[in-house]
Amino acid sequence: MEYENNNVGLVQWFHINQHREVEKAVEEFEKLGVARIRTNISWADWHLPEGKEWFDWLFATIGKKLEILPCILYTPPSIALKPKSSAPPRNAKDYADFVDTIITRYGEYFEYVELWNEPNNQAEYDFTLDPDWNIFCEMIGSAANWARQRGKKTVLGGMSPIDANWLNEMFRKGLMEHIDVVGVHGFPDVFDYNWEGWQAEISKVREVLNNHQSNAALWITEAGFSTWQKNERKQVKEFINALEAGADRVYWYTLKDLSAELPAVDRFHLDEREYYFGIKNEDNSPKLLYTLLADSGVAGVKQYEWLTQPLQGANADEQYTLITGGAGFVGTNLAERILSSGKPVLIFDNLSRAGVQNNLYWLKERYPDKLLVMVGDIRDKHAVKQAVSGASQIFHFAAQVAVTSSLTNPYHDFEVNALGTLNLLEAIRNSDHKPPVVFTSTNKVYGDLHDLGMSVNETRYFPENKYVAENGIDEERNLDFHSPYGCTKGVADQYILDYARTFGLKSVVFRMSCIYGPHQFGTEDQGWVAHFLIQALKGKPITLYGDGKQVRDILFVEDLVDAFLLAEKHMDRISGNAFNIGGGVGNTVSLLELIDMIKLITGDRPEVKMEEWRSSDQKYYVSNFDKLKAATGWSPATGTMEGIAKLHEWLMENAHISLDKTKKAKSAEKKTTPIF
């Protein structure tokens, strides 16, 4: 079945004076290529002092960009049978007058008008005050009749639950002669416990329409799935199911999770499910459905349906290597190495980072018989337990990876990095076979290193401590967690080591410096080497925070994969140890020096913008990997310039970056020029 963006809209409710939220929502709709919005027009809010001014602004702001389906609802308590917005009005025709006002004032912005919302849901319309539905039919019927005379088409507020008997009653009472579209709502496995499937539910409504020889269209005016249990793949599956239901139009609920500070339908956290229907989280981070829509549009989501299965791929009875966070840059490279040796791999990932689904696609095409995929969240201990059950060895990469994100949402950072790691350790501890685990920690566990003292020249910082300058930071360095990210990764780091000490689990910690290489689509928050190259290839400026003289040792990802496999090989001997790993003193670069290297490779010096220092940014960090070398024989094989050139070549071939002819010529010329 083909899907088109113009048959799909999103539902987003707004409160008075949420100006910035509206503007952001319009921007998001445009990013997703969705041109239709269903939103609330509260009759009760209209009568507030700022009501008219708010709706003037709302219609003008949204209507310039999107096609609006206004859902007109909520009685002003002062004119209701009881003083609440879900009660019928004392005078049924007052509602028609308000609909007329909305059409007169804002009719240029909409073709259809939706009359009430979920009338057979007592929370939205208190039918105990109107048991025979006479007030409702008079209220909606007069409004629909007048709206049609004003040139508008009418939508009967969506039934929730879908109830063929209720719809028959609306026909019997004569309401439906004024209705152009019947709306239905559905929330499978959330609120609709006796759900028979969209097609079965839709067929019930179509049967009623056919029996009454009605030409009314049938829209799903609200469908959704709550991710309160972290099940984002199920949200994608239900979205696809709604599109395949056979309705003439679908509105998906909703763009963004409800703010934790607001009540849901006048109830404050009575039902937590109501707060997690968004395709984006409250902090604006994307869920899987948003990521797929942004990447492929409505028409392209179907190609990812295979991701929605609980566990798909090769024979799940065969033991596999489990890689949590395995769709990311490091995980993809490790998975490819193991899969190429003929061994099965299970990638466990929530696909929250934009673009990583393409890594899975790449692996799936190359290794269809050995790759298993489980779209799951490390915070979901039941999913983690299932993933661990068949694992022979585990590499734990699932994490919130940016210092900046930890500063804006430390709670999420803690849940993923600390609690997620504990979920994994407990799953291993309680399993029968207790597979070994390699965990990727961070150099941030050593703090800002200000005590080293720094000298500086035109391009980089140098530690005044002679030993550190010659050897780098070793594992004897005191732990000193800085930033929420440093704290949560440090907590995970210590839990991994303590579970080896206390419970006898086999585990190793890698405290990593900066890793780079193929399959890295970096951002300025994480993956800065690739980010710099991508920005340069796109002809966009690169932002340097601080003075650009910060120094890191950088490690090519293939060398890191070698270290992972050696750690597993020597696990019995090295379990319970932490190892610093990076390019070491022989592979260091400052931000400014990387800019110069990019010029050597591409032929152009990127434009650079300077910004203020960021919190907890280290001026200098270089790994001393002597401990790992002594334990396993490992050392990096790829030099800095060689590795950056390899990454540049991979990005040119795989990152779909549009270059003008001049840049293409320069890049092609540089490929033939010896640079290392």
Q: Is residue 140 part of a domain?
A: yes
Number of folded domains that form the chain:
3
pLDDT for 313: 60
CA separation for the pair 121, 458 (Å, rounded)? 69
Q: Which of 386, 415, 435 finishes a domain?
A: 435
pLDDT for 657: 64
| Domain of residue 645, CATH code | 3.40.50.720
**Are 269 and 369 within one domain?**
no
- The residue from 320, 446, 461, 485 that is catalytic is 485
CA separation for the pair 598, 533 (Å, rounded)? 7
Strands (E), 595-655: 608-611, 620-621
pTM of the model: 0.85
Q: Is residue 473 part of a domain?
A: no
Q: Is residue 477 part of a domain?
A: no
Question: pLDDT tens, 168-199?
Answer: 999 999 999 999 999 999 999 998 888 899 99
Q: Is residue 277 part of a domain?
A: yes
**Are 415 and 451 within one domain?**
no
* CA atoms within a 13 Å half-sphere pointing along the CA-CB vector of 143: 31
Count other Cβ atoms within 10 Å, centred on residue 566.
16
Kindly state the tokens that stand for 662: 């001049």
The dihedral over CA atoms of 258, 400, 414, 394, expressed in degrees to the nearest 10, equals 120
Q: Is residue 60 part of a domain?
A: yes
**Are 417 and 506 within one domain?**
no
Q: Which of 416, 435, 454 finishes a domain?
A: 435
Query: Closest Cα to residue 359, out of 333, 388, 341, 339?
Result: 333
**Are 114 and 168 within one domain?**
yes
Where do we find the tokens 């000298």?
Answer: 455
Question: For residues 115 and 79, is the Cβ–Cβ distance under 8 A?
Answer: no
pLDDT for 221: 98
**Are 256 and 366 within one domain?**
no
DSSP 112: E
Residue type, 646: K
pLDDT for 668: 46
Q: Which of 283, 303, 323 finishes a domain?
A: 303
Q: Is residue 178 part of a domain?
A: yes
pLDDT for 615: 73
Phi, psi of 220 (to 5 degrees): -85, 100
**Are 461 and 394 within one domain?**
no
User: 229: exposed, middle or buried (C-beta count within 10 Å: 0-12, 13-18, 19+)?
Assistant: middle
**Are 288 and 316 within one domain?**
no
pLDDT for 10: 98
Residue type, 119: P
**Are 344 and 282 within one domain?**
no
**Are 208 and 107 within one domain?**
yes
pLDDT for 673: 31
Residues 6+ apart with CB under 8 A from 72: 41, 43, 95, 98, 99, 102, 113, 114, 115, 116, 143
Active site residue 485: yes
**Are 517 and 563 within one domain?**
yes
pLDDT for 181: 99
pLDDT for 267: 81
| Domain of residue 23, CATH code | 3.20.20.80
Q: Is residue 478 part of a domain?
A: no
pLDDT for 406: 87
Q: Is residue 226 part of a domain?
A: yes
Question: For residues 623 and 581, is the Cβ–Cβ distance under 8 A?
Answer: yes
**Are 393 and 529 within one domain?**
no
Q: Which residues of the chain have pLDDT under 70?
A: 1-6, 266, 312-317, 524-525, 616, 657-676
Query: Closest Cα to residue 664, out of 602, 582, 585, 600?
Result: 602
Domain that holds residue 274: 5-303
**Are 149 and 225 within one domain?**
yes
